[in-house]
Structure 1
Amino acid sequence: MTIDLQTEPSSRRDHGGSDFAELRRRIDDAGLLDRRPGYYAARFALLGTAVVVGWASFVAIGSTWWQLVTAVVLAVVFAQLALLAHDIAHRQVFRTRRPSEIAGRLVGNLGVGMSYGWWMDKHTRHHANPNHEELDPDVSPDLLVWSQDQARNASGAARFIGKYEAFLFFPLLTLEAFNLHISSVRAVLKPGLKERRLEGGLLLAHFVIYLSLVFTVLSPGLAVAFILLNQAVFGLYLGCSFAPNHKGMPTLTGDREPDYLRKQVLTSRNVRGGPVVDVALGGLNYQIEHHLFPSMPCANLRQARPMVRDFCAERGVEYAEAGLVESYTIALRHMHSVGEPLRAA
């Protein structure tokens, strides 16, 4: 089964019949799939201002170790830009494909050094098959293992890291931004990526502008320290935004799977919190609602939550929620548990 990243099944195409169709009707009636142009205009303006002010401050401060504070601030801005690119890819911002692709490449490739096309393909496969051990690239056993079956079959680095992955998880997240950049460069160097030259040119522009600014303003040693801290915090922020959503939830294998509603709800976890958590995680804390309705503007997810939760209660579908710290604890306990076969070997 393939599900386009920007859309969810309509009532007529619901895999499993009536449950999702009825929930979608209620969501439609509440107007929660309507676009929020004012919200996204304000978000674009705020982030654009943050980028300009952040780099202007960087230049004004000059070559001083206080720039490590700037490195952290700009890392937060980069992460928020990546979260905005996520919304653009899901067509939460623009209804049609072309403006979404233009904005996505400007924010993703030029803004943060991430190949929009590569990431979109990867994320599409995740949404189509969340937590499916053979089909979801986010739970493939590359360095980490996500089930005891994966642990038993692990080899190479995954075999060693899997033993202690609960302890190594957060340190490894500091490398996630570097992994994002490297994977993006690899994607544009291989044939097959749509608009490969455009994506490559925008990526090159990002790296040239970023490195030129850093090495022009800062001394070489400070420049290296700035880059390492900036990219480490950027990666950690991104990882912490995505980690609570599926880690420690049931995984799927083989060809048999539940219907669309249950597949998306039972493999996802919401993170409870107020407006600060909503902004910090870019709405990804409403992961259940996002997976059910990926094109729903993230500003509407909070309103959709009680409707989806109550509907799941009506249908007897388990609806998982946890606090932010609790969600990380669950994920780490799960990772420690799945590494047991490797520690026992």
Structure 2
Amino acid sequence: MNDSQDVGPRAPERTPDAPPAPAARRFTSSYTALAQHVREAGLLGRRRGYYWRRIAATVLTLAALAALVQVLGDTWWQLLLAPLVALTLSQVAFLGHDAAHQQIFSSPRWNAVASRCLASLLAGLSHGWWNGKHNVHHAAPNQVGRDTDIDSKLLAFHPGALEGKGRVHRWFLTHQGYWLLPLLLLEGFNLHYDSASAVLRRGALKRRRLEVLLLAARWTAYAAVLLLAMSPGKAVAFAGVELAVFGVLLGGAFVPNHTGMPVLARGVKQDFLRRQVSSSRNVGGGWPVDFFMGGLNRQVEHHLFPSMPRPNLRLVQPLVRRHCADLGLPYTETTFTGAYAAVVTHLNGVGLAGRRQRSCPLAQQFRA
């Protein structure tokens, strides 16, 4: 489904003491049975060997690139290394995401330590800022008023986001799907800006001082590596290219997962299984897609079992797909190009809907 729409029960919300509707009970008990099957199959068990290998390979690659920057010295050829640094840092961020979801260690404390080291110290993104908003997203994906991932000052991910937009902004929104890639070039800057803003606000995050120290250490080391090897102008150019590619890689891994899938209206209640499956889109394509999307291409399985280690998502996918088919619950999976075509079509459709809403009645008749 490419067009956003409000889904879920239309009947008045039940009181807390009232029993759930039969359909809700059926889906809830069905998810309980699925989760039990998954636990018995051992698919929620830790994969420490996998993660230690990935972490070691990623950190060593980052160190090798830093050394290569010093070897090349003050030359514009350094800009060829910037995309490789961005690619490696995107893999660091994905590992930080996995740790924040408790996928690596059995201990929540050690997962938090790993996530702070990976996300804050190496990738430069605040663990506390990202974890807080991402947990809300998992609790209410694509729900108006709760999921901040569908709130944007620039884009409109659902028709309700068109309210209050001016004429120039609405014109931009009619073609917003085509602006997606250029905007992703700025996503790296935006992620770091939002992260730093959250950390610098007093009382905004737990362990805020630790996050400040980690981010300060990261950016100091980043600047030192560049300025010891090249002139300030080349260092700024290197950072600009690296942040642009980082934004495309990281933002591009998240955009196709929910954009264009059904949007749940503000205040509407829905059982966990239907909410997670109906709002998520899987992206197929083999190991290249697995690598560049950090395992987030199996978004349905990730939302149903957030703490499941990344390599196990591939193993549980046939089980989840079959379970959804037995229930008659739509399971969405497409190719990488198909996912982005759906995203662009959806975004442009939302913008065009806003223009039609503001057209005069006579113009609407002629258009019809």
Q: What's the TM-score bracket when you normalise by the shorter of the two chains?
A: over 0.9
Instruction: Give yes or no for the alignment of 1:53 onto 2:64.
Output: yes
Aligned residue in 2 for 1:112: 123
Give how far 1:65 is off.
1.7
Any idea what SS the aligned residue of 2:337 has? helix
Q: Is the 8 A contact 2:98 2:309 kept in 1?
A: yes
Q: Is the 8 A contact 2:70 2:228 kept in 1?
A: no
Superposed CA offset, 1:259-279 (max 9, x none): 100000000000012122112
Instruction: Give yes or no for the alignment of 1:169 onto 2:213.
Output: no
Superposed CA offset, 1:154-189 (max 9, x none): 359864542331121111111111111111111111
Any idea what SS the aligned residue of 2:76 has? coil
Aligned residue in 1 for 2:8: none
Any idea what SS the aligned residue of 1:66 has? helix
User: Which residue identity lines up with residue 199 of structure 1 in the other structure?
Assistant: E
Instruction: Give yes or no for the alignment of 1:99 onto 2:110.
Output: yes
- TM-score, reference length from structure 2: 0.87
Give how far 1:236 is off.
0.6
Give how far 1:208 is off.
1.0
Rg larger for: 2
What RMSD over aligned residues (CA atoms) do the two structures have, in Å? 1.7
Aligned residue in 2 for 1:85: 96
**Partner residue of 2:80 out of 69, 88, 91:** 69
**Partner residue of 1:221 out of 233, 236, 248:** 233
Whole-Å separation in 1 of the counterparts to 2:170 and 2:238: 33
Q: Is the 8 A contact 1:76 1:234 kept in 2?
A: yes
Whole-Å separation in 2 of the counterparts to 1:97 and 1:36: 15
Any idea what SS the aligned residue of 1:20 has? helix
Superposed CA offset, 1:299-342 (max 9, x none): 00001110000000001100000001110110010000000144
Whole-Å separation in 1 of the counterparts to 2:169 and 2:138: 24
Counterparts in 2 of 1:195-234, with a 5 A limit? 195-234=207-246
Whole-Å separation in 2 of the counterparts to 1:146 and 1:269: 15
Check 1:155–1:122 CA distance in 2 against 1; reply closer, same or farther (3 A cut): farther
Aligned residue in 2 for 1:143: 154
**Partner residue of 2:326 out of 314, 328, 338:** 314
Unaligned runs of 5+ in 2: 1-24, 359-368
Whole-Å separation in 2 of the counterparts to 1:15 and 1:233: 45
User: Which residue identity lines up with residue 262 of structure 2 in the other structure?
Assistant: P
**Partner residue of 2:351 out of 323, 339, 342:** 339
Check 1:255–1:342 CA distance in 2 against 1; reply closer, same or farther (3 A cut): closer
Number of aligned positions between the proteins: 332
Aligned residue in 1 for 2:136: 125
Check 1:171–1:262 CA distance in 2 against 1; reply closer, same or farther (3 A cut): same
Give how far 1:244 is off.
1.1
Whole-Å separation in 2 of the counterparts to 1:238 and 1:281: 8
User: Which residue identity lines up with residue 217 of structure 1 in the other structure?
Assistant: A
Whole-Å separation in 2 of the counterparts to 1:32 and 1:155: 50
Further displaced range: 190-199 or 308-317: 190-199
Q: Is the 8 A contact 2:170 2:355 kept in 1?
A: no
Instruction: Give yes or no for the alignment of 1:240 onto 2:252.
Output: yes
Any idea what SS the aligned residue of 1:268 has? coil
Whole-Å separation in 2 of the counterparts to 1:23 and 1:121: 27
Aligned residue in 2 for 1:286: 298
Aligned residue in 1 for 2:361: none
Q: Is the 8 A contact 1:175 1:235 kept in 2?
A: yes
Q: Is the 8 A contact 2:28 2:272 kept in 1?
A: no
Any idea what SS the aligned residue of 2:311 has? helix
Give how far 1:211 is off.
1.4
Check 1:200–1:161 CA distance in 2 against 1; reply closer, same or farther (3 A cut): farther
Whole-Å separation in 2 of the counterparts to 1:341 and 1:277: 32
**Partner residue of 2:38 out of 10, 27, 32:** 27
Check 1:63–1:278 CA distance in 2 against 1; reply closer, same or farther (3 A cut): same
Any idea what SS the aligned residue of 1:92 has? coil
User: Which residue identity lines up with residue 136 of structure 2 in the other structure?
Assistant: R
Whole-Å separation in 1 of the counterparts to 2:159 and 2:126: 32
Give how far 1:70 is off.
0.6
Aligned residue in 1 for 2:342: 330
Any idea what SS the aligned residue of 2:175 has? helix
Check 1:141–1:183 CA distance in 2 against 1; reply closer, same or farther (3 A cut): closer
Check 1:226–1:191 CA distance in 2 against 1; reply closer, same or farther (3 A cut): same
Whole-Å separation in 1 of the counterparts to 2:250 and 2:162: 25
Whole-Å separation in 2 of the counterparts to 1:155 and 1:36: 51
Any idea what SS the aligned residue of 1:276 has? helix
User: Which residue identity lines up with residue 295 of structure 2 in the other structure?
Assistant: G
Unaligned runs of 5+ in 1: 1-13
Whole-Å separation in 1 of the counterparts to 2:355 and 2:227: 44
Whole-Å separation in 1 of the counterparts to 2:40 and 2:168: 50
Give how far 1:17 is off.
2.8
Any idea what SS the aligned residue of 2:338 has? helix
